[in-house]
Structure 1
């Protein structure tokens, strides 16, 4: 069966574009006006897209359905597989009680509210975004700030604004990975492009936060801390995104910012502590001191995660793991079954079930290895994993549905119809492209979902006006981060975590102007990247060279895996010995 895409099925590009954009308008209406649950809105959007593809674009039913299946498979693997692994690892630290040590350790570093906001809302929140995402950073950091005595409205608002800088690389790089899958661009190229945009925002956000809290004059009193926090984060975000890939920028940059700021505060303090005029009582214990072994034990799952993800990102390791376990197949009927409007074949990539080399597997293995280190049995770990699956069942449906819709829109020609209209904005399109990402995150609460919705559209529109598509695809992810703070889902999480349920409108009013200010900055940066500072665009190849398996890499890959095993064992042994020594010291103290 062969079918040729229709770009203008109604012989009127305006009407055709209105039909093509109908699923996006529907999800807007369902989420904002009807306040429908995300998974229901996503499923209905997919259904509407299928109906339009079949009855308006004349796409054969079989091809339309299999396009949706193809997209849903990509949503489940690797996207959801990575999210499940990340949240499972985070849940292990919570259920084992180790996360309480992390929270107390973070809160005990300083009593100044300005510095606590930098350390917890910005640096620690970014680390959590990279490790887990899915609303966890705002929920955890906002609750921590309220426990320290922050005004609940400021705690929620500050954490939502802080969450802008890391969102594009959240949940171990999931938004960038899905952007690459949808747009057919290399994930490394998108990572590099985003990594040359967001660090500018990352430098500014710490100052922005403190000015919101205490005003400009009081901000200057802690300028050294602001500079150390922002510059260290921005530098490591840029370095990791450009040279390691999209999976670890938040984790490494967040850890680096925490360490740099903590070291600074050991040798420098502001002249006077600053607090809010009226504060609720503090509920988090900050006077208790933990040993180095206890702190290392609490952080060990995340340290191991960082090591594992770095190892899994090395090409020789990927080749070795793919040699042992990988399955590629084409979705029946799609290969050679779809033709572009000009009659040329539409390239359909095979579904790659790289179940060993996928980063979600690295996260799962990290969680399993971490169980004995944090004092949990494997039976308890299995219960936590089942709890994680139950916790994520609706987000999994949402992601699979949204990616399924994206594939239907791309294969049917709806994306090209919308792109033709957007391309009519001509040279101004790069300025508007971040707004699509902002809109997508505002609607769905997820940069991943936004990228699934719009990245193919960004690619096609950029190609139509003659600019490098990696600029606008990356702009979709970068612009999306500025919509996170006003997304209804994010605001609901923030309100619930600080006890302001029913007062979501107050949080929205707190954050909305900051969302537009940051969006405007990203729009200007994207315009400059497209036409003025074009040297900043990374060089890349659209055709994946990784498909060529080099036999000589296998030996190197297996050697790296042996080295990884040795490093993990050494770290586990260090945690064990430090905690054993701590236990002996505690027993000796009790006996005396």
Structure 2
């Protein structure tokens, strides 16, 4: 059995953490500075992670390689499984013309591209995050914004930045549920505190989106709809997380944000031509005036209604137990790892949830969509194959980055970095969200970051005399801000917006927003740990 060592380099935690961060730093530099393609940067980062794991952390070569294969397998299933099937549904709707109907329907709510960004990227994207997560909201929102006339880069940036506030409660509350499991804290307490942090972000993100779309003019002219949308989203997310259910927090918040925009007269004002000319690429808009058959409109919304219904049914206890029964759990070959305390880590085993994973539920929705939209089975299968081909480089990127993450996790590199940050003592309240941010930047998943650092946050909180529930929640809330810079999410955005090899461009554009919002979250946690402790349940 390989036992992880916290400070393998000369007994120094600081030096060990510095080298442990080298693989992630390599990927970010290759993407942001060298402007290398993401799948190439991911493979090089993986190679660096393997070298550090073997030469510095003493992990046997066979186990290091095996851990990389496990990460790649997780990248394929369930992460890319859900992305492929979500984009497959989109391709079916494009093939039948119903995506254009949906686009025109959104366009009729408002022809102002700044409001459209809020409706699609923030509200509709949040609904997709609530139901599916794992990159699907970024992929679908990017595609829809490009179809409305946004430049591909602007569409991808808007989709990435918008995918923040809902992430902690995404995929039917999976991140906070995982956090409660790994920390042993009550789910209702963890959910309540996260629900008193991310709703504050929800006030800022819509304002930020209209600024990204149209600069100061956008902020000056549409700050009221943006603020109303964010407030409605935040209030409902807070209420659901604290008093209803973590699993339903994002569904209610997304619908509330969209309803607030639809009901607000200021959001329905026609946009001036100079605004549309400055923001959009000149895609024809006269089709927005074309009358739609009511049945066609219903069919355009049908795929997403099916997703909501199927995921809701899947959460019913009897159905969930039935779906969970079809899970294959086994010991991963050639892998036997214990943490620094000598306790075997959970990564020694691997689970394949054939039916309960979001990708399978989306696949079921896709099959039903093909039936209701009268798509022949041969054409549906051809579209699925076309989706896989279209995402081939994104698949390679995600698998290489997840392989990197698993090598870092199982060799002890990520834990060493975590303990180094956790040693900040009184400054831990400020750095606690940074740890979650780092975890999501590496893995692309708030769930994974919570599984990795949740228990560590609780231990560090006890040592520093801080509320363990607060720091555990801060791990998840800070983590949501790392998602927009994670290589796998950048790759998904590029694939959806037809920006092959432009991950570095997107990274440079979203990194300042990621760091800025992270600073806001750090200050929120510091305030809740001191003079605003009354905010905690």
Q: Please give the TM-score of this superposition, normalised by the length of structure 1.
A: 0.72
Aligned equivalents of 1:421, 1:59: Cα separation in 2: 20
Structure 1 counterpart of 2:405: 406
- Listed one character per residue, the Cα deviations across residues 211-257 of structure 1 (whole Å, up to 9, x for unaligned) are 7453666447xx3x4455233333444466665556x7656543443
Secondary structure class of the residue paired with 1:6: coil
Does the 8 Å contact 2:528/2:536 carry over to 1? yes
8 Å CA contact retained: 2:164, 2:480: no
Q: Which residue of 1 aligns with 2:91?
A: 91
Equivalents in 1 of 2:505, 2:73: separation in Å?
35
Q: Equivalents in 1 of 2:31, 2:152: separation in Å?
A: 26
Gap change, CA 1:480 and 1:282, over 3 Å in 2: same
| Aligned equivalent of 1:524 | 523
Query: Retained in 2: the 8 A contact 1:23–1:49?
Result: yes
Preserved contact between residue 459 and residue 472 of structure 1 (Cα < 8 Å): no
**Structure 1 SS opposite 2:10:** coil
* Cα separation, partners in 2 of 1:414 and 1:64, compared to 1, 3 Å: same
What runs of 5+ residues in structure 1 fail to find an aligned partner? 539-592
Partner in structure 2 of residue 356 of structure 1: 355
- 1:328 paired with 2:329, answer yes
* Aligned mates of 1:178, 1:102 — CA distance in 2: 33
**Please, which of 268, 272, 289 is the counterpart of residue 275 of structure 1?**
272
Contact 1:39 1:394 in 2 (8 A): yes
- Aligned partner of 1:119 in structure 2 is 119
| Cα offset, 1:36, TM superposition | 2.3
CA distance in 2, matches of 1:340, 1:512: 32
Mapped partners of 1:87, 1:187: distance in 2: 36
Equivalent residue, structure 2, for 1:21: 21
Is the aligned partner of 1:141 residue 2:138? no
Corresponding residue number in structure 2 for 1:4 = 3
Q: Distance in 2 between matches of 1:65 and 1:484?
A: 22
1:296 aligns with one of 291, 298, 301: 298
| Whole-Å separation in 2 of the counterparts to 1:321 and 1:390 | 29
Quote the offset at 1:142 in angstroms. Answer: 4.7
Q: Assess, with a 3 A threshold, how the Cα gap between structure 1 residues 41 and 272 changes in structure 2: closer, same or farther.
A: closer
How far is 1:357 from its partner? 2.2
Match of 2:456 in 1: 460
- For 1:402, what is the secondary structure of its paired residue? helix
Contact 1:297 1:374 in 2 (8 A): yes
Offset at residue 306 of structure 1 (A): 0.5
User: Structure 2 CA distance, aligned partners of 1:407 and 1:97?
Assistant: 41
Q: Does the residue aligned with 1:302 lie in a helix, a strand or coil?
A: helix
**Other-structure match for 1:573:** none
Q: Distance in 2 between matches of 1:118 and 1:104?
A: 16
Distance 2:293 2:452 in 1: 51
Check conservation: 1:123, 1:257, Cα contact below 8 A. yes
Kept in 1: contact 2:229–2:258 (CA 8 A)? yes
Q: Is 1:194–1:477's contact at 8 Å kept on the other side of the alignment?
A: no
CA drift at 1:97: 1.4
- Deviation (angstroms), 1:305: 0.3
| Distance in 2 (alpha carbons) for counterparts of 1:296 and 1:271 | 22
Structure 2: stretches of 5+ with no match in the other structure: 463-467
Separation (CA, whole Å) in 2 of partners of 1:364 and 1:157: 27
Shift of 1:269: 5.4
- Mapped to 2, the partners of 1:69 and 1:44 lie a distance apart of 15
**What aligned pairs does 1:178-577 form with structure 2 within 5 A after superposition?**
194-210=194-210, 212-214=215-217, 218-219=221-222, 223=224, 225-226=225-226, 228-238=228-238, 245=246, 253-262=253-262, 264=263, 268=265, 273-275=270-272, 277=274, 279-280=276-277, 283-284=284-285, 285-323=287-325, 325-334=326-335, 337-348=336-347, 350-435=349-434, 447-448=444-445, 452=448, 456-457=452-453, 459-460=455-456, 463-466=459-462, 467-468=468-469, 470-481=472-483, 483=485, 514-530=513-529
Residues 103-157 of structure 1, C-alpha deviation per residue, up to 9 Å, x if partnerless?
11111123456544543454344445666234441342254154xxxx9998776
TM-score by length of 2: 0.79
Q: 1:351 to 1:537 in 2, by over 3 A?
A: farther
SS in 2 for 1:133: helix
Deviation digits for residues 427-459 of structure 1 (CA, Å, limit 9, x no counterpart): 223323444555677x77x843x8757962565
Match of 1:50 in 2: 50
DSSP 3-state at the match of 2:332: coil
Contact in 2 for aligned 1:112/1:274 (Cα 8 Å): yes
Alpha-carbon distance in structure 2 between the residues aligned to 1:384 and 1:308: 22
Change (3 A) 1:98 1:344: closer
Cα distance in 2 for partners of 1:494, 1:455 equals: 28
